[in-house]
Structure 1
Amino acid sequence: LISSCSFSNESPLQMVRDVTIDDKPVYPYRGVLLDTARNYFSIDSIKETIEAMSSVKLNTFHWHITDSQSFPFVSKRRPELTKYGAYSPSKIYTEEMIRDVVEFARVRGVRVLPEFDAPAHVGEGWQETDLTVCFKAEPWASYCVEPPCGQLNPTKEELYDVLQDIYTDMADVFPSDLFHMGGDEVSERCWNSSRQVQQFMEENRWGLDKASYLQLWNYFQNKAQDRVYKAFGKRIPLILWTSTLTDYSHVDKFLNKDDYIIQVWTTGEDPQISGLLQKGYRLIMSNYDALYFDCGFGAWVGTGNNWCSPYIGWQKVYENSPKQMARDHQDQILGGEAALWSEQSDSATLDSRLWPRAAALAERLWAEPATSWREAERRMLNVRERLVRKGIKAESLEPEWCYQNDGYCYA
């Protein structure tokens, strides 16, 4: 409560009378995703983000710690992945560093949720394992959504031993009650480029069409799921991104609704949302049209704007209501999460990308207000000032004149 108050600098003494507070969040999952694989983020910048999250009552730091561009997570059991996959020997996350972050977050009421994205979004670090296909394939746009391409080869039995080692190393340092398995943007063309994969499909009397590759994907997912359970020593709840595997028309053939939580990254109007809810799946909302904070900047491959432009202002973040998306399935929406994919971000730009927009998400998920962003504007200006006082380089929202002359700046 005290951290949410605004104080005048003119008076050194502030008195708070006795109060009674009856307050609790509408949604249990209130998160921020940070991708530290495409660009490296320092431990200090991660801690600053968690500190800011705690101040606005966001409670889940989703750590997307590996991707096709780099493998900075130091695996004790598979150190060669970091040796070949990190950008440099100094751009890594060791067990000691991760434990430090986890404890820092814990005492501030924030859990750290690890994600190991597979079977796609792998590449650097895996080149010496012979367990991937289409790594650095060209032209890259034919095999993946961004360079470098790379996917795990599900037909290799030794792959699952490596995965279990990675999962076990993560279980050792991330005492989370959830685990994120990624599972998005899998390319059947990538798998189909491998003669070994084709032979495996033929031996199983599967075709080489999209429907058959869903069977291969499901084959991988089942085996990987089993290895996660072994690594954590229990049937921990699992999270997957929306994908062709989670399409509501067939998701129940592949994924048990009691085992999996689906994180929605498509638009807030995607019919997949209602379809998945009707089939009983629990959802976390990260619809890109309101909650992807990397949107609205120049393209990093080619010219023009990036794929999800335009820029998303705090007002749209605030108006993004999970309740309206859920309709008759309120209890199945666990919450929401802002995502910062880091193709064009690093420690130097982190604060202004996240803040104060993530604070708008925090109020939405805590209170699910019935009022519009206009009613929250003064609070947003206040929280931005509070974040700046904490050392967060939050983006400015309006001229200071508007802050000093409440009610005059409107459209």
Structure 2
Amino acid sequence: MSVSAIAEDGKIGVEIKRSDFMIKSNVTSSSVINAAIERYQYLIEHEYYESPIDRDSGTLKTMGSIYSLESYTLDVPADGKACIVAKTPFGAVRALETFSQLVTANSGRKVIRNAPVKISDTPKFSHRGILLDTSRNFFHVDAILRTLDAMAYNKLNVLHWHVVDAFSWPIESKIHPELTEKGAYTLDMRYSYEDVKKIITYAKNRAVRIIPEFDMPGHTYIIGESHPELMACMNKQPNWDKYTAEPPSGQLNIADPRAISFAFDIMAEYSRLFVDLQYHMGGGALNLDCFGEEPTIEMYVRDHPGESVDSLIVGWSTQMANKLDDLGKIPMVWEDTILSHNFTARNTTIVQAWINEDSVGKIVDRGYRAVASPWNKYYLDCGHGSWLSDFGGTSWCDPYKGWQTIYTYDPLANITDPIKQKLVLGGEVALFSSQSDETTIDRNLWPRASAFAEVMWTGNIDPRFRMVARGIMAEPLQPLWCFLDHIFQREKTLRKFLDALHSDGLVAQEARLGNAHKQLYGMDEGTDTYVPTSGAGDSKVSTSRVRPENTATYFTYNNSYSQQQDNASGAQFSRVDDDYIFESGARARV
């Protein structure tokens, strides 16, 4: 793309011409960088977005540590020869996303306004995630991949995959195939090993980690469909609410050695399939009545003086954490395991807070690293009423969590000790899927998760229209009228938008919304689907940007080491086949 300086309203801008725009890199061995180049080359060439924001801020800096693995600098001088410098491929991915968002449409041209632009960018928190539950309702692979695209647009870096729950077991098991045979909703609602590997690779190329959660010993009714001998309080009716927070009831029998052996099998199998160093072992919302009324547990406690249901829970958690350590994984647990049952874990354990905001402080007071997910701030599934007929139409986690609630929550609130502040790795917004599926996932996540992403990164954020233009059907935050003076500055463009929106009548408005927005800000006509050109896996290509005749290096990152410590968060990464797997843990594995 020819990149040339232009004058507009007395300000210098950079025009991007599709004919010879090119992104290049001095690093060719990283599949992450190669994939990012191909995506952003295509996106920048085809996206046509009119921004309501006039950026004129000079040098921009964010609040995070300069040692972050996702940090980068981006320099767009007035002559258009832009330069990206990043420590890792993941920083390069973030920089390319920022660069793509600087490009806006203006009078039929694509420009970066108000050059020169200098950005030194790094996240405030190292763990910025979304929890997605695929058990209550199923999400096909395409819906998950689209969510990963949206996460990359918002610089989120963790998909906490809540793979299984009481309702279904949708993932293939080679050790216990009966789990999927009896636990998946249908033959079509299963994730094969190849599906999982595809999702992991797709996420990695977007600088997103996949942390799996196989929640045990609670929320495990579905295991009882194939292994009833391992269960306690299996599907108690009609008084199910005595034994579980929501039906069907069922928890693994924590006094049965066969249940412990089964859980070890699951950890061993999926620790190999999921490559991230963290593994979420669950442990939340256990029902003590379920355990207390199980005859075999009653007998065990009677025959072992000094034992109790609580001590059995602690013993279970200890054995699971030790098993994960043997497998080379870092345990992640729900806060109940630590705060309600007095389990003392290794200080490398990561504890996810969900009960309230005060939990984060309690976790770091005990010396553990914390991920904030308080239900009253970050649970995005709430506010749609109860799915249960006998709960008076209200849900336990009502009301709806608007973007303002999410945006104003600070995980560091009331934590004043700098050392303890560093133990707060970040947060996750959660989409448990009792009332969500792939037809609603976009609007249930976005743009509320964008508000969360801004808090976690403290960077700039565009309105929802840019995500809609990229195929993410984020819900509107206010009447269209509020944007008219800023976005629809040309009467012809506004009329085109309104005509497209209403041409098929009221019923067709939602279906046509995405296309109408694309006419205004989206992809060029006929190019609104990204298709990798490499034919190999997710994508392959090459990174920097400027005139093709210029052979100088404009993008670089330091690849002279195999391991580096993040001084701010304790995060590390490992070099694996010239790419990087990074995590918010206390160690790295090569």
Residue identity in the other structure for 1:399:
P
Q: Residue deviations 1:101-141, cap 9 Å, x none?
A: 00000000000000010110101133332111111112110
CA displacement 1:230-284 (0-9 Å, x = unmatched): 3x3x2x22111121x4227x73xx222413211110122x3x4333222212110
TM-score, length of structure 2 as denominator length:
0.62
Tell me if structure 2 keeps the 8 A contact 1:3–1:55.
no
Amino acid paired to 2:321: Q
Per the TM alignment, residue 194 of structure 1 is displaced from its structure 2 partner at its CA by 1.3
How well do the aligned residues superpose, as a CA RMSD in angstroms?
1.9
Alpha carbons of 1:325 and 1:60: their partners in 2 closer, same or farther (altered >3 Å)? farther
The amino acid across from 2:262 in the alignment is V
Q: 1:325 to 1:38 in 2, by over 3 A?
A: farther
Q: What is the CA deviation profile of residues 13-43 of structure 1, one whole-angstrom value per residue up to 9, with x for unaligned ones?
A: 3247454321111110000000000010110
Q: Which residue of 2 aligns with 1:11?
A: 108
Gapped regions of structure 2 (runs ≥ 5): 1-97, 488-590
Per-residue Cα deviation, 1:69-106 (whole angstroms, up to 9, x for no partner): 11111111111111111111111111000000000000
1:354 alignment partner in structure 2: 445
Partner of 2:362: 275
Task: Give the drift of 1:7.
Answer: 2.0
* Inter-CA distance 13–405: structure 2 relative to 1 (3 Å threshold): closer
Partner SS state of residue 20, structure 1: strand
How far is the alpha carbon of 1:6 from its aligned partner? Answer: 6.2
Q: Is the 8 A contact 1:86 1:125 kept in 2?
A: no
Contact 1:273 1:325 in 2 (8 A): no
Aligned residues of 1:83 and 1:125 also touching (Cα < 8 A): no
Decide whether aligned partners of structure 1 residues 323 and 274 sit closer, same or farther in structure 2, where only a CA change above 3 A counts.
closer
Q: Which residue of the other structure, out of 319, 327, 332, is the alignment partner of 1:239?
A: 332
Quote the residue 1:255 is aligned against.
344
Counterpart position of 2:577: none
Which of 262, 266, 291 does residue 355 from structure 2 map onto?
266
Q: What residue is the counterpart of 2:291 in the other structure?
A: 191
Q: 2:324: which partner in 1?
A: 228
SS in 1 for 2:473: coil
Question: Partner amino acid for 1:228?
Answer: L
Find the counterpart in structure 2 of residue 326 from structure 1. 415
Counterpart of 1:179, as a letter, is Y
Distance 1:89 1:9, change over 3 A: farther
Between the aligned partners of 2:106 and 2:325, the Cα distance in structure 1 is 54
Cα distance, 1:225 vs. partner?
A: 1.9
Task: Report the secondary structure of 2:161's partner residue.
Answer: strand
1:229 offset after TM fit, Å?
Answer: 2.9
Correspondence list, 1:2-401, <5 A: 2-5=99-102, 7-8=104-105, 10-15=107-112, 17=115, 19-129=117-227, 130-138=229-237, 139-206=239-306, 212-230=308-326, 232=327, 234=328, 236-243=329-336, 245-247=337-339, 251=342, 254-268=343-357, 270=358, 272-302=359-389, 303-328=392-417, 329-367=420-458, 379=461, 382-401=462-481
For residues 325-380 of structure 1, the C-alpha deviation after alignment (integer angstroms, 9 at most, x for no partner) is 4332211100000000000000001000000000111110112x8xxxxxx8xx4x
Distance 1:305 1:5, change over 3 A: farther
Gap regions ≥5 residues in structure 1: 370-375
* Cα distance between partner residues in 1 of 2:257 and 2:351: 27
Between 1:189-198 and 1:344-353, the stretch displaced more is: 189-198
Structure 2 CA distance for aligned equivalents of residues 316 and 133 of structure 1: 38
**Whole-angstrom distance in 1 between the partners of 2:161 and 2:123:** 22
Give the counterpart letter for 1:390 in structure 2: R
Larger radius of gyration: 2
Task: Please give the TM-score of this superposition, normalised by the length of structure 1.
Answer: 0.89
Q: Structure 2 CA distance, aligned partners of 1:128 and 1:46?
A: 27
Corresponding residue number in structure 2 for 1:373: none
Letter in 2 for 1:131: L
Question: Stretches of 4+ moved more than 4 A in 1?
Answer: 15-18
* Stretch moving more, 156-165 or 304-313: 156-165
- Separation in structure 2 between the aligned mates of residue 95 and residue 136 of structure 1, nearest angstrom: 30
Q: Which amino acid aligns with 1:293?
A: L
Q: Which amino acid aligns with 2:236?
A: A
Shift of 1:287: 0.6
**Structure 1's 9 and 203: CA in aligned 2 closer, same or farther, altered over 3 A?**
farther
Equivalent AA in structure 1 for residue 293 of structure 2: S
SS of 1:326's partner is coil
Which position in structure 1 is the counterpart of 2:572? none
Cα 1:7–1:20, aligned 2, differ >3 Å: closer, same or farther? Answer: closer
Amino acid at match of 2:194: E
Displacement after TM superposition at 1:173 (Å): 1.8
The structure-2 alpha-carbon separation of the partners of 1:25 and 1:198, relative to structure 1 and needing over 3 Å to count, comes to same
Equivalent-residue separation in structure 1 for 2:106 and 2:260 (angstroms): 59
Looking at both structures, which has the greater relative contact order when contacts are Cα pairs under 8 Å and sequence separation is at least 6? 2
Distance in 1 separating the partners of 2:415 and 2:364: 7
Report how far residue 5 of structure 1 moved. Answer: 3.3
Contact 1:84 1:126 in 2 (8 A): no
The answer for the alignment partner of 2:584 in structure 1 is: none
Cα offset for 1:51? 0.5
Q: Percent identity, aligned pairs only?
A: 34
Counterparts in 2 of 1:325 and 1:287: CA distance versus 1, 3 Å: farther
- For residues 283 and 100 of structure 2, the distance between their equivalents in structure 1, rounded to whole angstroms, comes to 38
SS in 2 for 1:14: strand
CA displacement 1:37-58 (0-9 Å, x = unmatched): 0010110000000110011100
Deviation at 1:172, TM superposition (A): 2.0
Name the stretch that deviates more: 345-354 or 118-127: 118-127
> What is the rounded CA distance, in whole Å, between the counterparts of 1:83 and 1:44 in structure 2?
22
In structure 1, what residue type is equivalent to 2:232? V
The separation in 1 between residues aligned to 2:435 and 2:306, in whole angstroms, is 40
